[in-house]
Amino acid sequence: MSTRDSPAQIGDLPPVGRPANSALLEAGITSLTQVAACSRSHLLAMHGVGPKAIRILEAALEAKGLRFID
């Protein structure tokens, strides 16, 4: 799947940019609940997910009372 084929936003995920969206979508992650089931290091290992995307996802998780697993 190319980054042009991925949607600008997926489910209830915040906008993290097309490369990160593509990586999350390819991994089958389409919700904040699914993000919360991942560790930061697991997400960072995905091509396209960088520190900025992690900060954005973490803020969205905190707003919903969720957090990354350790």
pLDDT in tens, 32-44: 999 999 999 999 9
In whole angstroms, what is the distance from residue 38 CA to residue 54 CA?
A: 11
Q: Residues in the chain, how many?
A: 70
The Cα-based distances of 49 to 3, 20, 45, 65 in angstroms read 13, 5, 7, 22
CB atoms within 10 A of CB 69: 10
- Alpha helices, H only, the chain: 18-26, 32-36, 40-44, 51-63
Model-level pTM?
0.86
pLDDT tens profile 2-40:
445 555 678 899 999 999 999 999 999 999 999 999 999
Q: Is the pLDDT of residue 51 over 90?
A: yes
